[in-house]
Amino acid sequence: MAKHRVLTEFGMGSSLRRQDYTQAARRGLQDALWHNSINMAELFGFEKEAMLIDVQIGVQQPDQVDPDSLTDIFPYGQVNITISHGGLDIPRPVGKPTVIANVAINVAFEMERA
C-alpha cells in the first residue's frame, strides 16, 4: 500500500514578547487543529491511530523549537514533525522580537487508490 494524503491544514502562531519559538509553534498547531473537527479516519474506515500526521513548522530559528514537547497536541495518530527556516521575527522598539511560526499539517493513510 502507498501513503496518500487526504487533508492539509494551515496555522500561524506567535510569541509576542518572550521569543519562545516552541510556544509560537504550539500556537500555530493549535490554530490549525482547533478550528476543525474532521473525522477523516472514520470517513475512510480506519482507526484514528492509523493517521499519518506530517507536521511542517517554519520559524526563523528552527534549532530553538523543541519538537518532542509538541507531540502531546495530537491525541492520536503517528506524528512526524519537521522544523525548517521560515516564519518571521518582527523587531520591537524595546525587548525581544515577536516570533511568528507558520505550520502545515498533512494527514495521510496507507491505502490503495480506488
Report the 3 state secondary structure along 29-82. HHHHHHCCCCCHHHHHCCCHHHCEEEEEEEECCHHHCCHHHCHHHCCCCEEEEE
Rounded Cα–Cα distance for residues 70 and 82 (Å): 11
Q: Residue 93, by phi and psi: left (phi above 0), alpha (psi -120 to 50) or beta? A: alpha
Q: What is the mean pLDDT of the chain?
A: 93
Q: pLDDT tens digit string along 34-73?
A: 877 678 888 888 999 999 999 999 999 999 999 999 999 9
Which H helix or E strand runs over 26?
A: helix 21-34
